[in-house]
A and B are shown apart, each in its own frame.
Chain A
Amino acid sequence: MPIIVRLDVLLAKRKVKSKELAAEIGITEANMSLLKSGKVKGVRFSTLTAICDYLDCQPGDLLEFVQDESDTGS
């Protein structure tokens, strides 16, 4: 997946625990773990809004696009 989730980095910077964020934005710890590892098909705007609001960041701070070399054919 060329989209990398940087949530764990941001959590470390803000010194916030996954459990605390999960409780705050209203998702389960299991889903938070999946989100951190990038093993999800998508993120709802409402979830993204809640995370950005709590961590005081932009969506771009959480997600990063990395060009997949196998896709470019180079």
Chain B
Amino acid sequence: MTTINRRIRILKSIIYLSIAVIFSGQVLFWFLPDYADFISTSHPIIDAHGGLEALTPMQTILGFLVMLIPKIVLMWAFVLLLRLCNSFASGDWFNSQTEAFCEQIGRWMIAYAALAVVHRSLLSIVVTMNNPPGERELTISISTNDLMALLPALLALIIGHMVGIAKRQREELNEII
């Protein structure tokens, strides 16, 4: 096995593990009481309204779904990264497929960054939906972590553009005998 194939195999293992951790973590944190504190501390809006225990079953399910949406987008970006790895493993780095995968990963990561902002607003609605009128909340916040998610997104888009240029140059080189 060549060095590059071994590295791709390690990278694929990390991606599979990441997908499993993202999904299982989401389920554990929301539905196992032992992990409920984590959700409360990472989302002050839940903590401020009595923690996960204070939520009705409907609010818990809605909260889980709201939190799941950006995670699904992130997992899909990882799946695209897996496909990119498979494309690299075949030894063909500069083709239309590779270019498309890079650009798709970039777009989905931008969607993830946007959803990371939106999901906190939706969560505040879900947590306070049973409050009497006048006590319901809609919070809008942007953190440095949200902006950090844009970094890999933009990098993926730039790499996709570079792969496109490299592909066209290779095609032109192939026409030079």
Contact = CB atoms under 8 A, between A and B. Distances in A.
Contacts of B172: 41
Contacts of A44: 176-177
Interface residues of B, number: 4
Interface in A13-72: 27, 31, 34-35, 40-44, 47
Interface in B131-177: 172, 175-177
A40 B173 CA distance: 10
Interface in B92-132: none
Contacts of B176: 40-44
A44 B97 CA distance: 29
Given A35-B177, A40-B175, 16 more contacts: A27-B177, A31-B177, A34-B177, A40-B176, A40-B177, A41-B172, A41-B175, A41-B176, A42-B175, A42-B176, A42-B177, A43-B176, A43-B177, A44-B176, A44-B177, A47-B177
18 contacts: A27-B177, A31-B177, A34-B177, A35-B177, A40-B175, A40-B176, A40-B177, A41-B172, A41-B175, A41-B176, A42-B175, A42-B176, A42-B177, A43-B176, A43-B177, A44-B176, A44-B177, A47-B177
